[in-house]
Amino acid sequence: MALLIYGAVLVLAALAESTVGYRLDALGGGRVNLVLVLVAAWSLVRGAQDGLAGGLIGGLALDLMSGTPFGLHTVLLGLVGWGTATGGGTLERGGLALLFGTAVLTTVAYHGVTVLVLRVLGWDFPGLMRFVNVLVPTIFLNALFMPFAAAFARRLDRALSSWRRLELE
Amino acid sequence: MARVAPARRRSRSWIFVLLLLGAVGGLMLAPGPAHEVEAFGSRLLEPLQASVSAVAGQAEDVTSVVRRMSELSRQNDQYREEIDRLQAEIARLRELEVENRDLRNLLGLKQRAGTGELLPVRVIARDPSPFVQAITLDRGTDDGVKEGMTIITWRGVVGRVSRVSPSSSKVLLITDTSSSISGRIQSSESRVTGIIRGRPEGGLLMQRIPQEETLQTGETVVTSDFGGLMPEGLVIGQIIQIRRKDVDVLQEAVIEPSADMKRLERLYVLLSPSDGR
């Protein structure tokens, strides 16, 4: 149930990213990666398994809207969802530092691997300067959005947990 | 109280009238006292006259203003309606002018591009990755769109269909670093051709131009049918910078795309035989 609801949120985020996100380009093309941040936050709250599932759903939604080879975002975000909980632990053990650190690392890893995979698949590398110019504001925006995404994920998790308890009683 | 008889009352009235006539007649015969009486009366009545006159004047002003106000209001409404009508007319004429220009350009474009049909399409999304210059259109195979077809605006080429589904299609813009099309410099005497690719920092780069060719900024670059990817003669952009080194065999030209890639509107799919249909 929780995954279904969060999956719907991820699909909406992917939709927003492809229809509104590009209009809000900041400082040379950087934009907030809603799906990436929501997947990472979900992974921190719910653990590796749910993180992986969330990443696959969010990635699939992005793949449906992207011009890149199909499956690229699904695989990458699945790995991000799984790896965030595995490498970063849970949200209970970390505060803002964990959130910001997660945002920085996942953004660098996600975009770095995207560009490398595209290069391997025959696409041209955008150039180091362009890559850095886009990546730096994107990291900043993702780090800013991360606490809100984590708060949302945690609240949704608690709401669903208490609802489940009520159902069992 | 004793009652006065009617006959006596009538005779008193007559006496009063006669006295008044006598006084008036006396005053008429003696101008000096008459003037004094007139001056005294005037001084007594003047403040009253002034006050009443002022009040009456103001009342007249008020009624006049009220009357004029309703008239002005009616006129104002008429003018406002007229302004609204004219503004609507101006907006309609402007829109017609834009549409007319659009159609004229498309007509020219179509004449240059051959016998293909133009399918109007709309951008529904952009690629979520900032490193990929791609868009999603609202038409797909159900409307006859196929992979490899050219997307244009009346300003020039936008890109090519890279993936297509029944109801939508993905287009790789010519400004993407992976895009590569053949182009020709239109105004150059030699009509030299080259390969046009997207630049990482934006815009386009025309490569593989022989060093001996003389290029000039401002020259128009159009598509070349070399390679068969796009129809001949569609506008790509203008040269804004020429890069040449004496030691190199080839030179390059930086091109500003004619179509505004950030604000893509009024797009068309070129359903032409050259697109492999």
> In the sheet where B150-152 sits, what is the strand order?
B117-121, B267-271, B150-152, B157-164, B169-173, B134-137, B123-126
Give the lowest-confidence range in A84-93, A138-147, B132-141: A84-93
Instruction: Say which amino acid occupies A55.
Output: G
| Average pLDDT, rounded, for chain B | 78
pTM: 0.67
Which of A25, A39, A68 should we substitute to test contact with B (largest number of B Cβ atoms within 10 Å)? A68
Inter-chain residue contact A129 with B136, CB threshold 8 Å = no
- Give the Cα separation of B183 and B75 in Å (integer): 62
How far, in Å, CA of B66 to CA of A59, rounded? 72
Residues B63-122 pLDDT 10s: 777 878 888 888 898 888 888 888 888 877 877 777 777 776 766 666 655 556 888 898
**How many Cβ atoms are within 10 Å of B225's Cβ, its own excluded?**
15
Q: What is the pLDDT of residues B1-37, one digit of tens each?
A: 445 566 676 677 778 677 777 776 776 677 677 667 6
Between chains, do A134 and B131 touch, taking CB under 8 Å as contact?
yes
User: Taking the alpha carbons of A121, A126, A132, A137 in that order, is the dihedral positive or negative?
Assistant: negative
The partner residue sitting opposite A18, judged by closest CB among B125, B178, B201, is B125
Q: Which of A15, A17, A22 to mutate to test the interface with B (most CBs of B within 10 A)?
A: A22
Both tokens of B119, joined, read: 């399918």
- A54: closest CA of chain B, how far (Å): 18
Element (H, E) at A54: helix A48-65
Mean pLDDT estimate for chain A:
84
Q: How far apart are CA B157 and CA B222, in angstroms?
A: 9
Report the SS3 class of residue B130.
coil
Minimum distance, in Å, between the CA of residue A49 and any CA atom of chain B = 25
Q: Which residues of A touch B126 (CB under 8 A)?
A: 18-19, 21-22
- Which pair of tokens denotes residue A27? 């400082």
Q: What is the tens place of the pLDDT at every residue in A26-84?
A: 666 788 899 999 999 999 988 888 889 999 999 988 888 888 888 889 999 999 998 88
Residue of B127, B131, B171, B262 for testing the chain A interface, max A β-carbons within 10 Å: B131
Task: List CB contacts (< 8 A) between B124 and chain A.
Answer: 19
Among A18, A30, A62, select the one facing B126 at the smallest CB separation.
Answer: A18
Cα B240 from Cα B255, distance rounded (Å): 6
- Mean pLDDT, to the nearest integer, of A1-11? 84
Q: How many C-beta neighbours within 10 Å does residue B187 have?
A: 14
B201 chain-A contacts, CB cut-off 8 A = 127, 129-130
ipTM rounded to 2 decimals: 0.78
Domains along the sequence of chain A with CATH:
2-168 (1.10.1760)
- Tens-digit pLDDT profile for residues A110-119: 999 998 988 8
Q: How far is A107 from chain B (nearest CA, A)?
A: 12
CA distance B106 to A40: 48
User: Which residues in chain B are contacts of A118 at CB distance < 8 A?
Assistant: 131-132, 178
The 10 Å Cβ neighbour count of residue A141 is 21
What's the CA gap between A86 and A88, in Å, rounded?
Answer: 6
The Cα-based distances of B192 to A160, B37, B205, B208, B235 in angstroms read 66, 115, 15, 10, 15
**Contact, B262 vs B123, CB < 8 A?**
no
